[in-house]
Structure 1
Amino acid sequence: SRPRLEDAAPRIVEHPSDLIVSKGEPATLNCKAEGRPTPMVEWYKDGERVETDREDPRSHRMLLPSGSLFFLRIVHGRRSKPDEGVYVCVARNYLGEAVSRNASLEVAILRDDFRQTPSDVVVAAGEPAVMECIPPRGHPEPTISWKRNNVKVNDKDERITIRGGKLMISNTKKSDAGMYVCVGTNMVGEKDSDPAELVVFERPMFVRRPVNQVVLADDTVDFQCEVQGDPTPTIRWRKEEGELPRGRFEIRADNSLRLTQVKAEDEGSYTCLSENSVGKAEASGTLQVHVGPSRKYHSISFLCMRVLVLHMFLRL
């Protein structure tokens, strides 16, 4: 029979788009066709016709009146992947058929195991710190973020850069220390790595330094030295020109150096040396001893003589 003037061959007016969906979630592949008479739509996956609820009412695939293919849930297993593949919709009437563009339906996955977990890092304050992880395999490829003590790391801080799987902190501070977790995220969800600790030690830093002092001989003098750092620094003293005066020095509980009965030979530079596992520091103060002028003593002898005074009276 001849085609009617108002009849038209099918044409696809809405093509399906590629989809990435999570296992168990619903999904729709859109397809809309025009033609007269109204075309019948069928779907094919990887070249084979797709069975829908039109053929099997128990099917999880439904052919909608518009021609779109609706999945009640995406079925996906390690061995069976019945919904993943390349789809086309085909619209037919007696005047011919139209085939849509290909559309891939891929199932998003996110594995459990990190390919590389971050390791503990120990740095001195002011040094850079780098932590690195490789997230679990996933599709789409997981993005990476980091948490410190369960709070998301703010990469807007100009000291912090997150690039690929690396977390880089320049000029570390004591406040950067903590437990860090690498987080891999895609549309399936997110996975946390095992935690890694960032330890930020502090080099010795002087709170009070020894100062230059001038004293008199035989006086007592104290050189102060107060240092902070992590781990707690050790402190020792030395005299730059020789040894500490034997028997006349004391290192006190506050780490100050006390010299007693100072002598001229005690003059010189006294240095406080501080050290911990990440650094050293030293500070010095000089001592000048003034000896008073020597005094000369003279012996004085006193001679005592008895004088007898006689008073005589003459009568004329």
Structure 2
Amino acid sequence: ASIIILNQYMFLLRDDFRQNPQDVVVAVGETASFECQPPRGHPEPTVFWRRDKTQLDLKDDRIMVRGGKLTISNTKKSDTGIYVCVASNMVGERESEKAQLSVYERPAFMQRPVNQVVLVDESVEFRCQVHGDPPPALRWKKEDVDVPRGRYDREDSLLRIKKASVSDQGTFTCVAENRVGKAEASAYLTIREAPQFVVRPRDQIVAQGRTATFPCVTRGKPQPTVFWQREGSKDLLFPNQPAQGDDRVSVSVNGELTISSVQRSDAGYYICQALTVAGSIMAKAQLEVADASKGRPPPIIRQGPSNQTQALGGVSVLRCQASGDPEPTVTWRKNGANLLGLDPRFSLLEHGSLQIQNTRLSDSGLYTCVATSSSGETSWSAYLDVKASLPSSDSTDLMDFMSHNTTALPGPPSKPEVTDVTKSSISLSWEPGPEAGSPVSSYVIEAFGYVCDLCPRATLSDPNFHGNSRCTGSLWGIQASQGGFKQNKSAM
């Protein structure tokens, strides 16, 4: 402390400030404040401030000193410096400890990422340039999650995706951050996938008067628009819009072309086309119109699906192998509705079997394998039951469950014998085959052929404990098979 005695008056100024100013960090435009409490003295010392050893100019409207508090509003970069609080009276001056004012700049974008649209497997780049003081750190987010290393290339202000996939679609955000602030700029990436065929239309031979069906299932992003055109015609056939002047021809919402009551004039090539902003594809199939079936048997399903119980999330395979002349086309229905192409989890295997991946509870239902040719149509159905959980391995119910739920097919009957042939009936007997996993519930008898002296111009229906036989027209042969869900839709 310093003391001066003058004319019997004592003047005093102590050395230590009761409160020293502290360092302050602000962003440009913010308000900075310093506070100090000067040392005690007599008379009470006055306070002023110095920046970098120069007294502050109070003519600047942004600067205000009230007591020991200094306030600088709307700070500028030029306000950066070392500030000292000075206390003064008749004894002298005292300086506080030094305090640093740092005026930084918040991150600001010089270049923002922009929305982009690319095709699958194309490369894409997002650019993001910022300035600020101190220089901001950059990072990238996708849907509020930091982008993983390895999947994306990051070089300073650049984000690069070498081969875009459908899963890359979404919002990408550039985040810039420093000591005084954070800024974000976002852009949306749209992925387009060129149309692809899931199920192509196939050439068909259809008898006059029957129905021809050409499936055409596609996928893409966005979902393709599917339409049909007959080769040589300018008319376009769109879903749910009947052909002009011919209500026999229609296209379903799934892209399936149906021609009912086929006529010889319908023969020709039909073109399925799928179109999106990402491209277009087409596939052509030929329709041959044959004479009404001349006694040829309908397709035979040699191995049909069997009832199954499947665990949730599993893989189910419903078997279907068909043969015939001409070779039949195999399609599938669920609860009577055409199935393939509606869900990518469903796929048709090489020989006509249906595979369902990642099964869901909603997959439960009646599945029908349909074998179609110009000589007729044959179907075989089975029920799939998807359970949320199956019995555990230590459950006493497991063996009972296994005994009633097996994909093993029953063996075919053997040694058929025909007796008691009359003009209106026959008796048929056979030896049952192995039951495999469960008791045989019923037998189905099919009759077809060229000459039928047994039932001329008549329909035979003769149910008994063996099964039910029906014949319209002529009898060529009889086939017996096991399984309660097989049926022949052709009346011969």
**Distance (Å, rounded) in 1 between the aligned partners of 2:127 and 2:200:** 40
Paired letter, 1:81: T
User: What's the secondary structure of 2:149's corresponding residue?
Assistant: coil
Report the equivalent of 1:99: none
Q: Residues 77 and 151 (structure 1 numbering): CA distance in 2 closer, same or farther, change over 3 Å?
A: same
What's the counterpart of residue 169 of structure 1? Answer: 161
Q: Name stretches of at least 5 consecutive residues in structure 1 with no aligned partner.
A: 1-21, 26-57, 62-75, 85-104, 295-316
TM-score, normalising length from structure 1? 0.55
Shift of 1:291: 2.8
Give per-residue Cα distances to partners, 1:122-176, cap 9 Å, x unaligned.
222222222111123333x33422111111111312xx22223221112211211
Q: Secondary structure at the match of 1:193?
A: strand
Change in CA separation of 1:189 and 1:260 when aligned onto 2, cut-off 3 Å: same
Aligned match of 1:212: 203
Q: Against the structure 1 CA distance between its residues 176 and 83, is the aligned structure 2 distance closer, same or farther, given a 3 Å change threshold?
A: farther
Deviation at residue 110 of structure 1 after TM alignment:
4.6
Shift of the 152–287 alpha-carbon distance from structure 1 to 2, 3 Å rule, reads same
CA distance 1:272–1:286, shift in 2 (3 Å): same
Give the superposition deviation at 1:81: 2.3
Alpha-carbon distance in 2 for matches of 1:253, 1:264: 27
Aligned residues of 2:128 and 2:174 also touching (Cα < 8 A)? yes
Instruction: Answer whether contact 1:181 1:192 (CA < 8 A) is retained.
Output: no
| Aligned-partner residue type, residue 179 of structure 1 | T
The corresponding residue for 1:270 is 270
Q: Quick one: which of 110, 115, 138 aligns to 1:120?
A: 115
2:260 corresponds to: 260
* Cα separation, 1, equivalents of 2:198 and 2:293: 39
Evaluate the alpha carbon distance shift between residue 81 and residue 196 of structure 1 in structure 2; reply closer, same or farther with a 3 A threshold. same
Larger Rg: 1
Supply the RMSD in Å over aligned alpha carbons. 3.6
SS of 2:111's partner is coil
Larger relative contact order (Cα-Cα within 8 Å, sequence gap ≥ 6): 1
1:148 aligned partner: 142
User: What's the offset of the Cα at 1:256?
Assistant: 0.8
Structure 2 vs 1, CA of residues 142 and 249 (structure 1 numbering), >3 Å: closer, same or farther? same
Check 1:183–1:189 CA distance in 2 against 1; reply closer, same or farther (3 A cut): farther
- 1:213, distance to aligned residue in structure 2 (A): 1.1
Name the counterpart of 2:129. Answer: 134
How many aligned positions are there? 205
Change (3 A) 1:23 1:236: farther
For 1:112 and 1:192, locate their aligned partners in 2 and report how far apart those are by CA, in whole Å: 6
What is the TM-score normalised by the length of structure 2? Answer: 0.37
CA distance in 2, matches of 1:285, 1:264: 16
Cα distance, 1:114 vs structure 2: 1.0
Alpha-carbon distance change, 80 to 281 in structure 1, aligned in 2, over 3 angstroms: same
Residues 46-82 of structure 1 show CA distances to partners (whole Å, capped at 9, x for unaligned) of: xxxxxxxxxxxx9999xxxxxxxxxxxxxx9522222
One-letter amino acid of the counterpart of residue 146, structure 1 = W
Aligned partner of 2:216 in structure 1 is 225
Report the equivalent of 1:304.
none
Return the alpha-carbon distance in structure 1 between the equivalents of residues 79 and 254 of structure 2. 74
Residues 216 and 183 of structure 1, relative CA distance in 2, 3 Å threshold = same
The counterpart of 1:111, out of the listed 93, 106, 119, is 106
Aligned residues of 1:204 and 1:275 also touching (Cα < 8 A): yes
2:182 alignment partner, SS class: strand
DSSP 3-state at the match of 2:219: strand
Structure 2: give runs of 5+ residues left out of the alignment. Answer: 1-22, 27-48, 53-74, 84-99, 236-242, 295-492
Q: Distance in 2 between matches of 1:253 and 1:198?
A: 29
Output the amino acid matched with 1:285: A
Aligned pairs for 1:178-217 (under 5 A) are: 178-186=170-178, 188=179, 191-217=182-208
